[in-house]
Amino acid sequence: MLGARISKAEISRKLGVDYTTVVRWEERRARRGTSSWRDDKIPGRTPRLTREQLGEVKKILVKGPRAYGFESDLWTLKRVAEVINDEFGIDYSISNVWNVLRDLGFSPQVPQIRAMERDEKWIHEWVENEWPKIVLYARRTKATLLFLDESCVQSQPNVRRTWARIGSEPEIRTRQGKRDKLSLISAVSVEGELYFRIHRKDIDGLDVIAFLRRLLKEIPGKIVLLWDSGGIHRRKEVKQFLHDNWRRLYTKRFPTYAPELNPDEQVWNLLKDKELPNWCPENIEEMNRRVLGTLRRLQKQPHRVRSAIGHAKIPLPVGGYLGRGWRGQVGK
């Protein structure tokens, strides 16, 4: 409005500000000319840590708490404040440490559990060398590429964060006696097709064979199946079944202690963390109905399954597979 031949008094009335405020605006505009007030640099407080010092803090954080001498792999605001004080003699408050961590690109996160027995070098080599060969073989043979895994759902809830009133901690009431459990086996294709079977007992080698036999019956052509090295997959009867069906069923194993590579593992995470968190069934019948209904719903939502398996730590191929499968039923 300034410079538009509107009086200062009218600007004051229209904007609901004091007349002297409009006068200051006009004086500032006269000094600045055509530039915007946003061009003014508003000086802030001089940072107590230099850019070089912030870089050193980041290096220490990346190496981990144990490397710095702490007893556990846990970075807390208090520990970071101690590091800053020890290294540079600067006493930071907890709130200031939060701002420093945010500016360095850090955020509070729940760590992933990693087995000490992992062979990180072999896992890396498998992803870089073996996995591309498997994909190439599946494409060359026009096979359906599947990923298989077993899991379970228990009556004890998978607790996740939920919203509640401040000062009122939410509660989940569960039965503390005998826990009900459903054993699950499933396979997922690159296109997001989900095949599953539910059992009210622990899955054994015969159950694995029954699942594989159903896959061969419902999916035409050759199947390339990836699974882990669990003992159930190395049972004598399972090996014999694979030998008898080697023309159509080609299996490869993921590296040991690397569940993050298996896309089907991400489907179980979707089921437990997104579909069934904080859920306490009354009995195994209710559990069975809910799990079965949820898995059937996911079968009708391949886009959600594709989104979930996309979190696996392997590059998934796009196209070239025509998985057409059966819809799993409850195991007897």
DSSP 204-259: -HHHHHHHHHHHHHHS-S-EEEEE---GGGG-HHHHHHHHHTTTTEEEEEPPTT-G
The answer to whether 233 and 204 are in contact (CB under 8 A) is no
16 and 92 belong to one structural domain: no
- Condensed to tens digits (0 to 9), the pLDDT of residues 34-91 reads 555 555 555 666 778 899 999 999 999 999 999 999 998 899 999 999 999 999 999 9
Q: Which residue has the tokens 């690397």?
A: 258
29 and 141 belong to one structural domain: no
* Residue 48 DSSP symbol: S
pLDDT for 39 equals: 56
Q: Which residues pair with 225 in a beta bridge?
A: 146, 251
80 and 206 belong to one structural domain: no
Extract the tokens encoding 3.
């410079």
- Condensed to tens digits (0 to 9), the pLDDT of residues 124-141 reads 999 999 999 999 999 999
Task: In whole angstroms, give the CA distance from residue 290 to residue 282.
Answer: 11
Pairing type for strands 144-154 and 223-227 reads parallel
Instruction: List the domain range (segments joined by +) for residue 88.
Output: 51-103
In a domain, 173, yes or no: no
Give pLDDT tens digits along the chain (332 positions): 555 567 878 877 778 888 888 888 777 777 665 555 555 555 666 778 899 999 999 999 999 999 999 998 899 999 999 999 999 999 999 889 999 999 999 998 878 788 888 999 999 999 999 999 999 999 999 999 999 999 999 888 777 777 777 777 788 777 776 788 999 999 999 999 999 999 999 999 999 999 999 999 999 999 999 999 999 999 999 999 999 999 999 999 999 999 999 999 999 999 988 888 888 888 899 989 999 999 999 999 999 999 999 999 999 986 544 333 333 333 32
In a domain, 166, yes or no: no
Extract the tokens encoding 120.
């990180």
Extract the tokens encoding 235.
């049972």
Q: Which residues pair with 226 in a beta bridge?
A: 147, 252
Specify the length of the chain in residues.
332
Note if the pTM is more than 0.85: no
In a domain, 225, yes or no: yes
126 and 97 belong to one structural domain: no
CB contact set of 25 (below 8 Å; sequence gap of 6+): 2
213 and 277 belong to one structural domain: yes
Please report the DSSP string for 60-76 in residue order: HHHH-HHHHT-SSS---
In a domain, 248, yes or no: yes
Q: Which residue has the tokens 């228990």?
A: 154
